[in-house]
C-alpha cells in the first residue's frame, strides 16, 4: 500500500472523532445584565432597580428581552416571582427562557421597599408586550407570576426587535380592626324635691363614642306625653327637673344620643313617680274662753258690801282727824 493511501485511510479514521469534538453553538442569545426594573406608577417614579412604595400604590415591573443572535429566539417564556403574605420589602426575580438560547436561562431582580407592612398581588389583565419604542405588540394572558407566559412570536435579532414584557402589582396593607363602639344609659336616679317636683339624673357610659345630648320624655298614666326635654351636653350625666302639679303617676325615660347612635328607651333608664294630692286642712270653730263666775248679788251679798263700805269710811275719817 502506498504511503499516500495509508495517510488517506488514517485521515478518514479520525474524521468521526473530530466531528464529535466540534462544539454545537446555540442559534440565539438573550442579553443578560440589568434587564429587570420596576417603577411606582402611583408616585410616578422612574424605572429603577429599587423603588419605594406605600399602601395602595400600583407598581409596574418590566423585563427587557434583547436577542443578540445570530438567529431569532424561539418559544420565549417569561416568569416572575412575588412574595406571599405580609412583608416590609421584597425582591422579585424574573426568568426568561427559549428553546434555542445559550445560556438557556437568563434572570435578574428588582426590589421594593414598603413604608408599612403589607402584601402585594398581581393585577389581573395587566401583562402585555411592547416594542423598543413603547408601542403595544400583544396582550399576554395572566400567569406570569405562576407558571409563566409564552410570547406569541419569536424575538428577532437586533435592538429594533427587542421586546419588553411588563405587568402590574398592587400593594395592600392590612386594615386595623375598627375600634369597638359601646354606649348605654346605665342609670336614672330620682330625687324628690317636694310634692310636685322631682330631679331625674341620667347617667351614660360610652366607649369610642361621644355623648351629644339626653332626651327626657314624661308620660302620664294614660300613656300621653306631657313633656319632652332635651339636655345638650357631652357630659356623662344630665339632670331633668320634673315639675307637674296635676295629681297622678308619671313615667319618665331618658335616651342618650351619641355621635355613633342612640340608646333608645330602656328599662334601666325608665322610672315612675307619683304626684300626690295636696293635703286637706281640717276646719273647726274655736271654743270661747272660759266664763269667770259672777259675784253673788243676794241679800247677804248686799249687806256685806255695805259693811265693807262702812268700815272703809270709818278708817278714812280717823286718818283725816289725826293728821289735821
pLDDT in tens, the chain (324 residues): 445 444 444 444 444 444 444 444 568 999 999 999 999 999 999 999 999 999 999 999 999 999 998 999 999 999 999 999 999 999 999 999 999 998 999 999 999 999 999 999 999 999 999 999 999 999 999 999 999 999 999 999 988 999 999 999 999 998 888 899 999 999 999 999 999 999 999 999 999 999 999 999 999 999 999 999 999 999 999 999 999 999 999 999 999 999 999 999 999 999 999 999 998 877 655 556 556 665 555 555 544 444 554 555 555 555 445 544
Domains of the chain plus CATH, in order, are 23-172 (2.60.40), 182-275 (2.60.40.10)
Prediction pTM value:
0.55
Q: What are phi and psi of 132, to 5 degrees?
A: -65, -20
Q: What are phi and psi of 233, to 5 degrees?
A: -165, 155
DSSP string, 50-104: EEEE-TT-EEEEEEEE-B-SSS-B-S-EEEE----S-EEEEEEEEEEE-TTBSSS
Do the Cβ atoms of 217 and 228 come closer than 8 Å?
yes
Do the Cβ atoms of 42 and 106 come closer than 8 Å?
no
Cα–Cα distance between 318 and 278 in angstroms, integer?
75
Q: How many residues does the chain have?
A: 324
Do the Cβ atoms of 101 and 29 come closer than 8 Å?
yes
223: region left, alpha or beta (phi > 0 left; psi from -120 to 50 alpha): left
94: region left, alpha or beta (phi > 0 left; psi from -120 to 50 alpha): beta
Amino acid at each position: 500500500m502506498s504511503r499516500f493511501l495509508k495517510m488517506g485511510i488514517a485521515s478518514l479514521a479520525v474524521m468521526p472523532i473530530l466531528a464529535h469534538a466540534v462544539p454545537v453553538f446555540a442559534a440565539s442569545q438573550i442579553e443578560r445584565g440589568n434587564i429587570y426594573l420596576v417603577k411606582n406608577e402611583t408616585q410616578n417614579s422612574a424605572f429603577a432597580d429599587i423603588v419605594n412604595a406605600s399602601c395602595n400604590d400600583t407598581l409596574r415591573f418590566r423585563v427587557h428581552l434583547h436577542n443578540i443572535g445570530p438567529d431569532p429566539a424561539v418559544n420565549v417564556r417569561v416568569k416572575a416571582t412575588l412574595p406571599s403574605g405580609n412583608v416590609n420589602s421584597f425582591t422579585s426575580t424574573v426568568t426568561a427562557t427559549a428553546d434555542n438560547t445559550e445560556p438557556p436561562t437568563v434572570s435578574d431582580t428588582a426590589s421594593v421597599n414598603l413604608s408599612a407592612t403589607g402584601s402585594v398581588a398581581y393585577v389581573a389583565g395587566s401583562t402585555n408586550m411592547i416594542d423598543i419604542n413603547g408601542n403595544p405588540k400583544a396582550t399576554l394572558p395572566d400567569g406570569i407570576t405562576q407558571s409563566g407566559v409564552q410570547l406569541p412570536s419569536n424575538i428577532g435579532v437586533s435592538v429594533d426587535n427587542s421586546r419588553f414584557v411588563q405587568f402590574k402589582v398592587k400593594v395592600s396593607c392590612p386594615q386595623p380592626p375598627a375600634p369597638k363602639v359601646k354606649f348605654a344609659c346605665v342609670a336614672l336616679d330620682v330625687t324628690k324635691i317636694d310634692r310636685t317636683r322631682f330631679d331625674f339624673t341620667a347617667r351614660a357610659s360610652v366607649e369610642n363614642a361621644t355623648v351629644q345630648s339626653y332626651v327626657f320624655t314624661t308620660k302620664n298614666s294614660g300613656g300621653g306625653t306631657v313633656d319632652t326635654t332635651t339636655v345638650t351636653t357631652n357630659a356623662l350625666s344630665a339632670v331633668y327637673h320634673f315639675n307637674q302639679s296635676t295629681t297622678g303617676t308619671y313615667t319618665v325615660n331618658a335616651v342618650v344620643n351619641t355621635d355613633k347612635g342612640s340608646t333608645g328607651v330602656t328599662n334601666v333608664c325608665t322610672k315612675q313617680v307619683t304626684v300626690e294630692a295636696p293635703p286637706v286642712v281640717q276646719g273647726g270653730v274655736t271654743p270661747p274662753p272660759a266664763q269667770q263666775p259672777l259675784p253673788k248679788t243676794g241679800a247677804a251679798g248686799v249687806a256685806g258690801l255695805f259693811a265693807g263700805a262702812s268700815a272703809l269710811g270709818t278708817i278714812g275719817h280717823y286718818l283725816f282727824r289725826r293728821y289735821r
